[in-house]
């Protein structure tokens, strides 16, 4: 999957219509052996189902490089191995294995000296059963049965144990040529944006730039900032960036944080139009786009567009929220894209850039 650009991805008219999102890559059964591997692109996000002991995928990298493969949306009660093969003169060599035991995601890294290689997802199943046209297995001794064959005729339960459809997982291949932070482009981005105001307070783990015709102010606390165009008539637009320590949400994740944001939006009448991921700050960050009715600055009820994105830096979650009138939603996307393109961990900034250049960074607003 290509790194997503907000300018290309989300348009004002799109907000007012229904959109069904999907993955660009899907496993093709049978793919339970190397010679049966599903051919996929490194530019795709892959989805597959846990309905047998192994799934194999073959990929061709744009060039040899150090890559990371992220396997997500796993059942917490499963024991699953993510293995990488090849990417070397021996195309069938098992290079590395990373295990997810009791976790919902796992990440593997390999230094690829060759472009071609394989990814496998191997699942350890517990007790199995086959009868009356269907087969199922349990991922743990006290978990439900997962249907492996005969989904259409499988019962709702077997011996009082629930019978479930196979859970789906996703795979993302992270290659430097697809990253906004890729070598060669990173220095160009920094050089292009270095003339813009920057934000990098000591307590924050990240830095970013923002447009010159925007202002920045603190909102009551040193964990939340507001960015807006300087023109008074444009105050119906808000870009808020908030730092939330992970200690306050033990056991959560970026996806879990976005779930909270989605719930809060639905409480106030928001309708989520899309939920996906984009490549931001050297990571796949979950985001959603919603529409919601809300009062404007004049007190009238208007339809607003809302973007919510969550990513992780060290011990913090970073929430980025962009909201403006639905009719103006696309107008400010270039400014939002500037902020996203410049987001970096602080150690990727030069000393000259690692400072907040807003004249009054301590200003508070109600």
Most confident of 17-31, 107-121, 211-225, 273-287: 107-121
Report the pLDDT value the prediction gives residue 231, as an integer from 0 to 100.
Answer: 73
Most confident of 116-125, 218-227, 342-351: 116-125
pLDDT beyond 50 at 24:
no
Measured between alpha carbons, how far is 216 from 214 in angstroms, rounded to an integer? 7
Name the strands in the sheet holding 66-72, side by side, starting at the edge strand that comes first in the sequence. Answer: 25-26, 45-49, 168-174, 66-72, 106-111
More confident residue, 313 or 3: 313
pLDDT beyond 90 at 332:
no
Report the pLDDT value the prediction gives residue 233, as an integer from 0 to 100.
Answer: 59
Report the pLDDT value the prediction gives residue 261, as an integer from 0 to 100.
Answer: 92
Left (φ > 0), alpha (ψ -120 to 50) or beta: where does 160 sit? left
Q: What are phi and psi of 104, to 5 degrees?
A: -95, 0
User: Over 352-363, what HEC string results?
Assistant: CCCCCCCCCCCC
Name the strands in the sheet holding 157-158, side by side, starting at the edge strand that comes first in the sequence. Answer: 128-131, 134-138, 145-149, 161-164, 157-158
Query: Which residue segments constitute the domains of the chain, with CATH numbers given?
Result: 31-177 (2.60.120.380), 179-348 (3.40.1000.10)
Report the pLDDT value the prediction gives residue 320, as an integer from 0 to 100.
Answer: 95
185-215 confidence digits (pLDDT tens): 333 344 456 678 888 877 888 888 888 888 8
Report the pLDDT value the prediction gives residue 156, as an integer from 0 to 100.
Answer: 92
Banded pLDDT at 366 (limits 50, 70, 90): very low
Which of 173-187, 305-319, 323-337 comes out lowest in average pLDDT? 173-187
150-181 confidence digits (pLDDT tens): 988 999 999 999 999 999 999 988 876 554 33
Measured CA to CA in angstroms, residue 314 lies from 40, 182, 205, 275, 306 at distances of: 32, 20, 7, 24, 26
**Among 277, 272, 274, 273, CA closest to 255:** 277
pLDDT beyond 60 at 36:
yes
124-136 confidence digits (pLDDT tens): 999 999 998 999 9
| Cβ atoms of residues 45 and 24 within 8 Å | yes
Residue 164: its H or E element? strand 161-164
Banded pLDDT at 331 (limits 50, 70, 90): confident
231-290 confidence digits (pLDDT tens): 755 568 889 999 999 998 877 899 999 999 999 999 999 998 888 888 888 888 899 989
Report the pLDDT value the prediction gives residue 19, as an integer from 0 to 100.
Answer: 31
More confident residue, 262 or 331: 262
Longest dimension (CA), the chain: 73
Average model confidence (pLDDT) for the chain?
80
Report the pLDDT value the prediction gives residue 193, as an integer from 0 to 100.
Answer: 62
Q: Kindly provide the b/e burial profile for residues 278-299, where b requires at least 16 CB atoms within 10 angstroms of the residue's own CB.
A: bbbbbbbbbbbbbbbebeeeee
Report the pLDDT value the prediction gives residue 213, as an integer from 0 to 100.
Answer: 87
**Among 178, 177, 182, 225, CA closest to 339:** 225
Report the pLDDT value the prediction gives residue 41, as an integer from 0 to 100.
Answer: 78
Report the pLDDT value the prediction gives residue 185, as an integer from 0 to 100.
Answer: 35
HSE-up of residue 363 (Cα within 13 Å, Cβ side): 11
More confident residue, 102 or 114: 114
Location of structure tokens 């033990």 = 250
Left (φ > 0), alpha (ψ -120 to 50) or beta: where does 197 sit? beta
pLDDT beyond 90 at 83:
yes
pLDDT beyond 50 at 22:
no
pLDDT beyond 60 at 357:
no
């Amino acid at each position: 999957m290509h790194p997503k650009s907000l300018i290309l991805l989300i348009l004002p008219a799109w907000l007012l219509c229904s959109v069904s999102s999907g993955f660009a890559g899907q496993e093709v059964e049978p793919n339970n052996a190397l010679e049966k591997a599903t051919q996929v692109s490194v530019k795709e996000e892959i989805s597959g189902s846990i309905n047998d002991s192994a799934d194999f995928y073959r990929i061709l990298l744009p060039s040899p490089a150090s890559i990371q493969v992220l396997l997500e949306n796993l059942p917490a009660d499963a024991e699953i191995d993510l293995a990488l093969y090849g990417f070397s003169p021996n195309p069938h060599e098992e290079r590395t294995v990373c295990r997810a035991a009791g976790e919902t995601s796992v990440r593997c890294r390999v230094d690829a000296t060759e472009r071609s290689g394989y990814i496998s997802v191997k699942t350890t199943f517990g007790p199995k059963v086959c009868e009356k046209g269907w087969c199922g297995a349990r991922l743990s001794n006290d978990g439900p049965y997962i249907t492996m064959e005969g989904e259409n005729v499988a019962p709702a339960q077997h011996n009082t144990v629930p019978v479930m459809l196979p859970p789906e997982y996703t795979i993302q291949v992270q290659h430097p040529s697809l990253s906004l932070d890729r070598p060669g482009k990173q220095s160009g981005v920094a050089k292009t944006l270095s003339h813009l105001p920057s934000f990098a307070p000591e307590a924050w783990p990240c830095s970013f730039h923002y447009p010159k015709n925007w202002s920045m102010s603190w909102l009551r606390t040193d964990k939340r900032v507001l960015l807006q165009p300087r023109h008074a008539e444009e105050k119906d637009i808000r870009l808020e960036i908030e730092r939330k320590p992970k200690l306050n949400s033990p056991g959560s994740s970026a996806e879990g944080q976005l779930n909270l944001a989605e719930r809060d939006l639905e409480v106030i009448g928001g309708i989520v139009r899309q939920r996906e991921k984009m490549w931001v700050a050297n990571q796949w960050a979950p985001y959603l786009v919603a529409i919601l009715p809300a009062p404007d600055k004049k007190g009238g009820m208007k339809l607003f567009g809302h973007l919510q994105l969550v990513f992780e830096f060290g011990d913090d979650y970073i929430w980025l929220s962009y909201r403006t009138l639905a009719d103006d939603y696309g107008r400010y996307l270039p400014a939002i894209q500037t902020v996203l393109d410049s987001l970096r961990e602080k150690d990727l900034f030069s000393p000259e850039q690692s400072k907040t250049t807003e004249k009054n960074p301590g200003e508070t607003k109600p």
